[in-house]
Amino acid sequence: MSPEAWLIDESEDDQRLPFRQNPKELISLNKLAEIGILFWHLDAKKYDIEEELKKFQESKGFNYMDFLELSRGKGEDCEEKLKDFFLEHVHAEEEIRYCLEGGGYFDIRDKSDHWIRVWIKEGDMIVLPAGLHHRFSLDTSNHVKLIRFFVEELVWTSTNCSHEPSRWSSFKARMDS
Residue 63 phi, psi (nearest 5): -105, -15
91 known member of a binding site: yes
CA distances to 67, 108, 114 from 98, rounded to whole Å, are 9, 17, 25
Left (φ > 0), alpha (ψ -120 to 50) or beta: where does 82 sit? alpha
Residue 69 phi, psi (nearest 5): -120, 125
* Pairing of the two strands 89-90 and 124-128: unpaired
95 known member of a binding site: yes
- Report the alpha-carbon distance of residue 141 to residue 106 in Å, rounded: 15
- Report the alpha-carbon distance of residue 99 to residue 121 in Å, rounded: 6
SS3 helix, strand, coil % of the chain, rounded to 5? 25, 35, 40
Find the angle CA(41)-CA(45)-CA(50) to the nearest 5 degrees.
65
**Residue list, annotated binding site for Ni(2+):** 89, 91, 95, 134
**Residue list, annotated binding site:** 89, 91, 95, 134
**Residue list, annotated binding site for Fe(2+):** 89, 91, 95, 134
